[in-house]
Amino acid sequence: MLKEFRDFIARGNVMDMAVGIIMGAAFTAIVKSLVDDLVNPLIGLFLGGVDFASLSFGVGDAKFMYGNFINAVISFVIIAWVVFLLVKGVNRMRAMAETRKEPEPAAPKGPTQEELLAEIRDAIKAQKA
């Protein structure tokens, strides 16, 4: 069972997935910083100094931080846009690679029907002589 587990982990697709998850987590941290430290202050300038993180309302003892939700939506939109651009770029590169493929060499041409018939005729003449 341990050998099977080792083989499973060593397969390329599992390692690719692990790298993707790690890169995704790092990318999420970058986007969170982008939204919190650059986008929200910029939006706040246009909206009169509004800080989304501080937006909230309360009902009794419960405090609803809808500003954090707005930050999460902005982060999601940015991540979705970047992923869209990445997929579009990869698809474009694949299409370019497909067009660059060298054409397969043509199969060597065999003798024509006339040539084969001429060979048969010559062989029959040689047998009769």
pLDDT in tens, 71-128: 888 888 888 887 888 889 888 988 888 787 777 777 778 888 888 889 999 999 898 8
Tokens of 45: 């300038």
pLDDT in tens, 20-43: 899 888 888 888 888 778 887 887
In 3D space, the residue among 57, 90, 53 whose CA is nearest the CA of residue 75 turns out to be 53
CATH of domain 2-128: 1.10.1200.120
At residue 88, the pLDDT reads 92
**Residue 64 φ/ψ, nearest 5 degrees:** -100, 115
C-alpha–C-alpha distance, residues 85 and 82, integer Å: 5
At residue 111, the pLDDT reads 83
